[in-house]
Chain A
Amino acid sequence: MTVTEIITTMLLLASLPFFLAGTLGLLRFPDLYCRLHALTKADNLGLGLVVLALIFQADNVQQIIRLLLTWLLVLIAGATVAHLIARKARGDGHKHWSRQ
């Protein structure tokens, strides 16, 4: 195993908890606003680690650019959608969860 392969393996393994946390959050968080965190934060970070891992295996610069562009677009789309959904939820009068 070369150095880059070890780095890739570690990054890929590191990405897994984020994806699992995202799904867990989607299922277990008590209200919509909390679930939005799962959507925007956890999975996008997991994808970032996957992209980083694949960059270490890329053959040329073009591949690196394609990977980074994909991640960047997902980040922008994720942030926008989270904002839009939160805005709509507020407009519709979704109530916040509280411990009581």
Chain B
Amino acid sequence: MTGLYLALALILLLTICVGMVRVLRGPTATDRMLAAQLFGTTAVAILLLLGQATENTAIWDVALIFALLTAIAAATFVRRRDIDKTTETEDQNDRH
């Protein structure tokens, strides 16, 4: 069973690596933020699997903290005062 947990964790880590392309490419700030949010969910799954594979459920506490806190960065992003227009300019230009 341990092999399966680790194999799945490995594949999930690879999906994070591949998903990083979206952070790099954008095109808008919102796209990048959304990708980072997705990594949070995947990381929770990886941590749960690692915790089970190593039979150290203290690792599940790390997963719980991620589950509690991933929303905060995104909430800050939508509520902060100066919206970063830099990466949005291409999109705005397309619209007109």
Contacts and interface: CB of A to CB of B under 8 A. Distances in A.
Interface of A: 5, 8-9, 12, 15-16, 19-20, 22-23, 26-27, 32, 35-36, 38-39, 43-44, 46-47, 50-51, 54, 57, 63, 66-67, 69-71, 73-74, 77-78, 80-81, 84-85, 87-89, 92-95
Nearest to B16: A23
B54 interface: no
B18 A92 contact: no
A94 B28 contact: yes
The main secondary structure of chain B at its interface with chain A is helix
A26 B39 CA distance: 11
Given A57-B52, A74-B67, A77-B68, 4 more contacts: A12-B5, A35-B34, A39-B38, A81-B75
